[in-house]
Structure 1
Amino acid sequence: MPKKPVSFDGEVILNSVTACVFVIAPDSTIKFVNTSGEQLLQASAKYLEGRPLEEYIPADSPVHALIAQARTDRSNVSENSITIESPRIGKHLVNAHASPLIEDPSLIILTMTKRSLADQIARQLKHRSAARTITAMSAMLAHEIKNPLSGIRGAAQLLETTASDEDKPLTKLITDETDRICALVDRMESFSDGRPIKREAVNIHQVLEHVRQLAQNGFGKHVRFTEQYDPSLPPVFGNKDNLIQIVLNLVKNACEAAIHDTAKITLTTAYQHGVRLAVPGSNTRVHLPLLVSIQDNGPGIPDDLRNQLFEPFVTTKAKGSGLGLALVAKMIGDHGGLIECESEPNKTIFRLMLPMYSEKHHGPLTV
């Protein structure tokens, strides 16, 4: 029996796309908005229609100049990486496109696509590239540095047996420094292990609670922890020990950054739809619906370090090695996940997007 022809409803199609679509009248009021546009402006279409766009996007935003240019030139215009910000909608980075409606050029079709997810994926690929670079470096360092260091340390210990009391602090300095360099190389060696990690279903809340207890009994005694957990969250497809190391590193950094007298860290879990990451060399896409956030109230990360935060030897600490976050990025990459950082004064958030365990596939949920 032949199938009935599919009936296409333009409004239904527009409401199904992830881009925010608006139709703007000559007086800059909103004539139409799709579902994604409702989510961006945080109001319903019924409420938004007939209201000035300036109520939600400030008049000095490049978006308005883009609309004006499209209307004046009667041509399509685009601009990438526009920041739109207002108290009503918050701050968003978007790519914007404006074009006149063919039937009525006085009406402008404005489409805006959020850049956040695309940027996360691009940065994640950069993180993995940095991890591969440090993998090769660590293998070389382990061979070329550790062997001579053991000889230097042995010679210093031998000298200490015959050194005067005045010179013994110098021999101790040599042994201490060689131990410190060896420890640094040992940390770098963890990057050179290219074997696939053993993964299984892991309760992420058990991981978070384990790390929280470690922190509150040690380096985080001064911190007030707040948990905002989604108890219905499915298991992560991951390695429990690695996940503990990832979260422990991030929580320790947050404890050190948090303002001491009012130090506060918020641990959050949530389920988010629509985040997928392509598996290299295949048409498979892994769902990354499990969101774990670690937020502190510290001074924030300097702007000049934010884009290089997960690269090796980049650190905000006076005595830091700059390998902790690089290792975190590598382990998140080993899980097939994403890591993102958002920072401003009194608010730094690290977000982990992780794959969920699928009982049907005995592995990650894919499409």
Structure 2
Amino acid sequence: MLRRFVSANCTRRTTLTLQDSIRKDLLVLWLSIAAVAMVLVALLILLVQQSAGPQLARARGQASVSCEALRAGAARLHMGAPGDSSVSPSSQKLPGAQAILDLVLRDRPGMEGGFWQTDAGVVAYAFPTYDGTGIKRDPPSAELERIVATAQRALQTNGLVTDIRPGLREAVVFSACPIDSPPHVLAAWTLTRVTLISADVVNPLILTLSLLLCMVVLSGVCLGRMLARWRQQSAQLQAQLAQAERLAALGRMSAGLAHEIRNPLGTMRMKVENAMAAGADVREARIAGAMESVLSQTQRLESLVSSLLALTQPLRVDRQSVDLVAFLDEQIQVHAIAAQRAGVRLARSVDSDLTEAASSSAWFDPTQLARAFDNLLLNALAHTREGGSIELGARRASPGRLLLWVADDGAGVPVELRDTLFEPFATGRSGGSGLGLALVREIVQAHGGRVTLAETAQGARIEMEFPWPTS
């Protein structure tokens, strides 16, 4: 008893220590996750502030206004005279085009534009705010295809057309609008490059992402180490708990075994002492009674030892094809005389689909299962009053499952025994060893099944469920 108490206290202290360790590890993990979350929030705020949406909307509006200004200027102003040396050769066909482009685009930083003619292509181009060396007079060849497509769409729809070519670090905003200048078919176009992520944002962003990645990696490593330590501590705790459970089970079994052995020994000692102390006239009769008692208690001890051996030795199940109905009838016949003496009726209840010849064959070890039914029927006979009844039954529990049961209408199982009914030495019957139902459980589990105490309005009902191969 003292050992079990010490072992339980040690297990309790170990459990508390493990809980404290887990609590600290979880706190560290939570703080790490909180730090990562804060970094993510800061990154999201930065990205929202640098969102491309407002920039693109502003650039699109400026492109539209500039394109409309180019269209108005080309329609109202007289373009320079032929041979004017201030215009490029490509604009000689449209006098004044270069002046209009420079005038409109000089207040639009980063915006370039020109005029496009159906039969001649780009006939005028300007980029007044070009920050390179010299003056840029050649339209961007990489964007020429998109410029032409936008201008054609503007002429086809006879209205302003804007288009955006998205990119990771830079987006390009195109706009085009038709110009009413007979006999030419012209379209004015503009092009603006919008920097989505500037250089002063890229470096902090890369640094932030690097820090975030490092934190995630470190958090993963710490979590892995914590999980490994938890698994090790959990394995140690499970081993200690298993040891404590084994000691507790051994203690319960030892106490039950001592009780079951002490009672027969006490009975034999009392009978022998009475016989030896009797007078000469009754000594012979007392000795004969004592011998009968010794023989009876010896048989009880032999039964106890046999049951213990059956529980401690592994059960070897030899499954066979068994006629289920005939098997149940045989169990009834074995206990028919004892039931008749007790005034108890034995009955069989089998579902109709199991009584057919093709469906009545079950697959189990008949010898071992007969032992289980012996214990169940003896237990039911001991708890059923005269005039009562005991039922042996069988039915299909579900596809591939067979349910067998023994039910009686006796006093039932006391509430305090229901949780430990199938444990060794758990009995509410005077003279019972408490090993019968434990042996039943071992036999059923050896077949891959389970045994339970079912809920009933009266008496007790022990159900055994087995796997039943469908083929």
State the TM-score, normalizing by the size of structure 2: 0.37
Which of the pair has the greater relative contact order for Cα pairs under 8 Å at 6+ separation?
1
- Quick check: which has more Rg, 1 or 2? 2
Greater strand fraction, Structure 1 or Structure 2: 1
TM-score by length of 1: 0.46
